[in-house]
Amino acid sequence: MGYIVETKHLTKAFNKHKAVENVHLNIQKGDIYGFLGPNGAGKSTTIRMLLGLTYPTSGDIRIFGQDLKQNRIKILHHVGSLVENPSYYPHLTAYENLEVVRKVLQVPKERISAVLQLVRLKHVADKKVKGFSLGMKQRLGIAAALLHQPKLLILDEPTNGLDPEGIIEIRTLMKNLANQGITILVSSHMLSEIEQVATTIGVIVKGKLIYQNNMSELRKLAKSRIRLRVSDMFQAQKLIRGMVKDEWLYTKSQTDQEVAQLIAKLVQHDISIYRVEEEKRSLESIYLQMVNGANKQ
């Protein structure tokens, strides 16, 4: 299947420092692609390259199946974005702010009320933006990005600095937009902010994409595991073909029956069992482990 966004060997160096290195992004149609990584990981630089705001040092970018270098104007005509804090005129109303953008984009007037409806700001259309909360301003920025009915929407940390309510608003909005067939790339440094909406996750650390898979695969990693502490870890490991990590013996067994059989086997071989635990890993801890692992390298 063709990708909406596909990068190959994408690299950006500032002097000698590689802010983005050899990144292969694969974003499918209809995806809400959660682009995760700690501050300074290279998310914004990648996004700026996708938007043609800065040029790659090397590598290729294809959007809608076309090379960005050769079809920049045509491609960007179908891309909406919110990067950095949206700029607006505080003394103008929400409607008037969108009217300014609408004139530049030359789209029909009806689009203004359509996008205000989408981002749920219609009731404050005639209120001055200076009184808006940060969340409302972000949504106004997204409304502006949607005026020309893009097929791809790129949001760089849209939930940064928002309160929980604001985060939920943006989340709901992304879901609605995805339901309408818009593909979304959204960056964040917190998995918890996007795990409920993302269909695919890409993790970037120190410029390198260290993980890219769909959400269901990531969730599988978060499945609980049974772990043991026994008198003879070495022999027990051989007997049950487990894995020893941090002084725990991890088993592959999942069902009660499998665990019972495994314990019986250990007892038969005179191994004392001190502890049997179910270890649950949260998605956030898996993400942090990935980031910490990559940071150590």
Where on the chain is the footprint of ligand ADP (CB under 6 A)? 14, 19, 37, 39-45
The phi, psi pair for 43, rounded to 5°, reads -65, -55
Q: What's the min distance (Å) between Cβ of 139 and ligand ADP?
A: 21
Question: In the complex with ligand ADP, which residue's Cβ is closer, 177 or 209?
Answer: 209
Q: Which is nearer to ligand ADP, 55 or 89 (CB)?
A: 55
Q: How far is the CB of 110 from ligand ADP (least distance, A)?
A: 35
Largest CA distance in the chain: 81
In whole angstroms, the minimum distance from the beta carbon of 138 to ligand ADP comes to 17
Q: List CB contacts of 269: < 8 A, sequence separation 6 or more.
A: 235, 236, 239
Nearer to ligand ADP, 12 or 137 (CB): 12
By beta-carbon proximity to ligand ADP, the closer residue of 24 and 78 is 24
Q: What's the rounded Cα separation, in Å, for the pair 127 and 122?
A: 10
Beta strand 5-14 with 26-27 is antiparallel
CA dihedral 235, 236, 242, 243 (to 10 degrees): -70
Residue among 39 and 216 whose Cβ is closer to ligand ADP: 39
Q: Which is nearer to ligand ADP, 53 or 264 (CB)?
A: 53
Asked if 62 and 3 touch (Cβ cutoff 8 Å), the reply is yes
How far is C-alpha 101 from the chain's CA centre? 28
Of 40 and 161, which CB lies nearer to ligand ADP in the complex structure?
40
Distance of closest approach, residue 186 Cβ to ligand ADP, in angstroms: 13
Q: Are 29 and 64 in contact (CB under 8 A)?
A: no
Considering Cα of 232, then 235, then 239, then 242, what sign does the dihedral take?
Answer: positive
Nearest approach, Cβ of residue 79 and ligand ADP (Å): 18
Rounded to the nearest whole angstrom, what is the least distance from the CB of residue 47 to ligand ADP in the complex? 7
Residue with tokens 């970037």, as numbered in its chain? 204
**β-pair type (225-230, 248-250):** antiparallel
CB of 202 to ligand ADP, least distance (A): 12
Q: For residues 37 and 203, is the Cβ–Cβ distance under 8 A?
A: yes
d(CA 131, CA 4): 37
